[in-house]
Chains A and B, each alone.
Chain A
Amino acid sequence: ETGVTQSPTHLIKTRGQQVTLRCSSQSGHNTVSWYQQALGQGPQFIFQYYREEENGRGNFPPRFSGLQFPNYSSELNVNALELDDSALYLCASSPKRMNTEAFFGQGTRLTVV
């Protein structure tokens, strides 16, 4: 166990809806990154938050947004869900921005129907 917890573990949403995924980072970690892992593929970087500010972003549209709270937990929000958003969403926390020490949660499996 890494101490990074994600909720919920699974959920099903309808196309066009909005979803919020949550990540509780490991104690002492101020950096959180989010990844999307489509079935049968490697994870793709969505964005990273460091001390409550976005610190880097991958090639994802603006309907993917996030927040980091003062306790360094984080949310990933996806608006106007599309079928292709169905994936495993992974959260990783690090004790610093240079995340060679990234610790991953077990992910949230999102299915869009």
Chain B
Amino acid sequence: AQTVTQSQPEMSVQEAETVTLSCTYDTSENNYYLFWYKQPPSRQMILVIRQEAYKQQNATENRFSVNFQKAAKSFSLKISDSQLGDTAMYFCAFMKGNNAGNMLTFGGGTRLMVKP
């Protein structure tokens, strides 16, 4: 079974600054995907960024980037130039890559507050 751990229950950052959210995971799989999801007060889960484990290059999406350390089983999210709209819960998630009844395993979340 896979586990995902987010060790920071809450984080805060000043607007326009950079913040890094941590995530570690445990798996015996070699083929898998990692995700960061954002959940604002509207409750809808929104995909922020996705990383394929077989890719060594770290994924980036505009102001969002990840630091994927496969050997250390670490997958952190960096948000640059933080904006007030980034205030939300952030969840790290894992998915096996075997294309059979795939499910997302989520961490416990990090509440991010962006302060003006």
Contact = CB atoms under 8 A, between A and B. Distances in A.
A105 B101 contact: no
B28 interface: no
Interface in B71-116: 91, 93, 95, 97, 99-109
A26 to B, nearest CB: 13
A77 B106 CA distance: 23
A70 interface: no
Interface string A65-82: 000000000000000000
Contacts of B42: 106
Nearest to A41: B108
B47 interface: yes
A97 B33 CA distance: 14
**Chain A CB within 10 Å — which of B33, B44, B47, B108 has the most?**
B44
B26 to A, nearest CB: 15
Contacts of B100: 55-56, 97
A58 B103 contact: yes
A107 B39 CA distance: 11
B109 A56 contact: no
B109 A41 contact: yes
Given A104-B44, A105-B44, A107-B43, A48 B108 contact: no
Interface of B: 4, 33, 42-47, 50, 91, 93, 95, 97, 99-109
19 contacts: A35-B104, A41-B108, A42-B107, A42-B109, A43-B91, A43-B104, A45-B104, A48-B103, A88-B43, A97-B99, A98-B99, A98-B102, A99-B104, A100-B50, A102-B104, A104-B44, A104-B46, A105-B44, A109-B43
